[in-house]
Amino acid sequence: GWKDAINTTIINFNNEKMQITWAARELFPSENVSFSYTFDEGKHKVWKPCPTYLLDQDYNSGCLFKTEGPTLAISIRSSNGSEELFSKRLKSDFYIKPNRPENVTFFWKEDTVTVICNKPERAVKCLRLELQYKSKFDKDWQSRTSKCCSVGEQGFDPRKCYSFRVRLKRLVPYCNVVNYSSDWEAETFWMNGTLLDSCDDDIKSQSNTVIFLSCFLAVLLMILILLILLCKWQRLQKSVMPAIPDPKYVFADLFNDHNGNFQEWIDETAHTMVQTKPEYEEPECIIEVESQQKDEKNSDKQSSQEKIFNFSRAAENNDPKAAQIACLMPTSNTIASFAGFQILMNNDMYVML
Q: Which tens digit of pLDDT belongs to each residue from 175-207?
A: 999 999 999 999 999 888 888 888 875 544 555
Burial of 248 (0-12, 13-18, 19+ CB in 10 A): exposed
Query: Per residue in 231-280, pLDDT tens?
Result: 877 776 667 666 666 555 556 666 666 666 767 767 777 766 555 555 54
CA pair distance 9, 238, nearest whole angstrom: 95
CA pair distance 266, 323, nearest whole angstrom: 37
CA pair distance 349, 288, nearest whole angstrom: 7
β-pairing, 8-13 vs 17-22, is: antiparallel
Phi, psi (deg, nearest 5) at residue 89: -120, 135
Burial of 16 (0-12, 13-18, 19+ CB in 10 A): exposed
**Prediction pTM value:** 0.55
**What would the mean pLDDT of 213-227 be, rounded to a whole number?**
87
CA pair distance 156, 144, nearest whole angstrom: 13
Query: Per residue in 32-74, pLDDT tens?
Result: 899 999 998 877 889 999 999 999 888 899 999 999 999 999 9
Q: How far is CA 144 from CA 132, 141, 186, 303, in A?
A: 6, 10, 17, 138
Measured in whole angstroms, the distance separating CA 24 from the mean position of its chain's CA atoms is 62
Query: Per residue in 269-319, pLDDT tens?
Result: 776 655 555 554 555 554 444 444 445 555 554 555 444 444 444 444 444
Stronger pLDDT, 170 or 123, i.e. the higher one: 170
CA pair distance 113, 135, nearest whole angstrom: 14
Instruction: Indicate whether 170 pLDDT > 50.
Output: yes
Whether 299 contacts 330, CB under 8 Å: no
Which helix H or strand E contains 282, and what residues bound it?
none
**What would the mean pLDDT of 156-180 be, rounded to a whole number?**
91
**Number of residues assigned to the chain:** 353
From the CB of residue 21, how many other CB atoms can be counted at a distance below 10 Å?
Answer: 17
Q: Which residues contact 174 (CB under 8 A, 6 or more apart)?
A: 126
- Is the alpha carbon torsion for 6, 12, 13, 16 positive or negative? positive
Burial of 129 (0-12, 13-18, 19+ CB in 10 A): buried
**What would the mean pLDDT of 156-163 be, rounded to a whole number?**
89
User: What is the per-residue pLDDT for 141?
Assistant: 92
Q: What letter does residue 181 receive in the DSSP assignment?
A: B
Phi, psi (deg, nearest 5) at residue 14: 55, 35
Which helix H or strand E contains 90, and what residues bound it?
strand 84-91
Instruction: Indicate whether 14 pLDDT > 80.
Output: yes
CA pair distance 231, 349, nearest whole angstrom: 65
β-pairing, 334-338 vs 341-346, is: antiparallel
User: What is the per-residue pLDDT for 180?
Assistant: 93
Q: How far is CA 278 from CA 271, 273, 275, 281, 282, in A?
A: 14, 10, 8, 7, 10
CA pair distance 348, 353, nearest whole angstrom: 17
Stronger pLDDT, 340 or 55, i.e. the higher one: 55
Instruction: Indicate whether 163 pLDDT > 80.
Output: yes
CA pair distance 161, 189, nearest whole angstrom: 7
Whether 191 contacts 161, CB under 8 Å: yes
Q: What is the mean pLDDT of the chain?
A: 76
CA pair distance 77, 85, nearest whole angstrom: 5
